[in-house]
Amino acid sequence: MRTEDPRYLQLLERLRHGQCNYDNYELLLTRVVGQSSVGSLRDEPWNKAPILVFRNEVRTQLNNKAAIHKAAEIGQAPMVCVAQDTCKGKSIEDPTLIKKLLELSDSKTEHLPGLLPLVPGMPVILTQNFAIELGLINGMNGIFRQLVYEEDSVSTDVLSETFPNNTRYIRRPLYALIEIVRSKIECNFEHLQSNLVPIPSMEQTFRINIADVLPKDKKLKSNHRTILPIKRRALPLVPAYSITTNKSQGQTLRNVVIDLKLLNETDDIAAMYVPLSRVKRLTDLIIFRHFDYKILTMTPSKSQPAEIERLDKLYLETQWRFPEWF
């Protein structure tokens, strides 16, 4: 357990066993937006706290909106890196398929985003194991500082209605300079400060059933193969204004905004426990909106308490073995 708040620790212990009472519920309600004990989301530290959500699609939408807002705030046109997709070594020429592939959630594309908005100063997460021995691993947090790209690959032709008309689309990014405080890189790159790390574009191959992404009038004939391998080259980064609860597992966050409205009734107690247990104190989190008491009383499956205990032990062991990362 990472929690330092005794009363909150008790609540989490009861939650993991499905034994929360109404007092626990009322305690959590003190952290719902709108309560006198909760600050404004416009003020620090909450305006810089990540928002934890359950779905990748929601996470992407929030990150896109936050990046657009950040660009407007600093007076820059939004900059979006465009993934390069090929099939069996050939460029994809169908504009409808190109658009659909770029719009796929990165959870379906080996975690390489089709459209990656970047604004200097924005938080990002590394989505691939880049250099494990240097600590540059999947899930590492950093701050985007600068993009290096081929000058002739910039276009202002609109690729997505998500972004404003003045967006600059970068089709051949070379690498992004990311500020990573906890990097183990000891040598300095020439002309770079010590904590700036160049993260290059990477390639991954994913399989897609194009029958699922093409409109009806574009469907292939039944004798055509619809599951195709797509090779994608893109920067292995995603914005970190919002992250999924799944991605947050194992992390201790300084401050966080969470939503406890479950997507459906089949969700289990772990869906509640993970976001609530990312912080050390109850006052380190804000709950985005009101939620029902009954979700705190869900009975865990027989395997869930054992799995949560296993993860807690793994967290403590990792903390002991690699204290420099905590």
pLDDT digit string, tens, across residues 110-126: 999 999 999 999 999 99
Tens of pLDDT, residues 164-196: 999 999 999 999 999 987 766 665 666 667 788
Identify whether 248 is part of a domain: no
Q: Is the domain of 33 the same as that of 174?
A: no
Q: Is the domain of 29 the same as that of 65?
A: no
Q: How far apart are CA 116 and CA 110, in angstroms?
A: 14
102: pLDDT strictly greater than 60:
yes
pLDDT band at 237 (very low <50, low <70, confident <90, very high): very high
Q: How far apart are CA 288 and CA 52, in angstroms?
A: 10
Range 217-246 average pLDDT: 83
Domain ends where: 240, 266, 289?
Answer: 240
Tens of pLDDT, residues 51-95: 999 889 999 999 999 999 999 999 999 999 999 999 999 999 988
pLDDT band at 220 (very low <50, low <70, confident <90, very high): low
Q: How many domains does the chain have?
A: 2
Q: What is the pLDDT of residue 222?
A: 56
Three-class SS of residue 237? strand
- Residue 129 structural domain: 57-240
Q: What is the pLDDT of residue 297?
A: 85
Tens of pLDDT, residues 266-288: 566 778 888 999 999 999 999 99
Q: Is the domain of 202 the same as that of 319?
A: no
221: pLDDT strictly greater than 60:
no
Q: Is the domain of 100 the same as that of 32?
A: no
Among residues 173, 106, 178, which one has the least CA distance to residue 135?
Answer: 178
Range 234-257 average pLDDT: 92
Residue 275: which residues within 8 A CB-CB, separation 6 or more? 52, 245, 248, 256, 258, 259, 260
Q: How far apart are CA 58 and CA 52, in angstroms?
A: 10
For 45, 119, 140, 239, 318, the CA distances from 127, given in Å and listed in that order, are: 25, 18, 8, 10, 20
Which range among 30-44, 49-63, 214-228 shows the weakest confidence by mean pLDDT? 214-228
Q: What is the pLDDT of residue 130?
A: 84
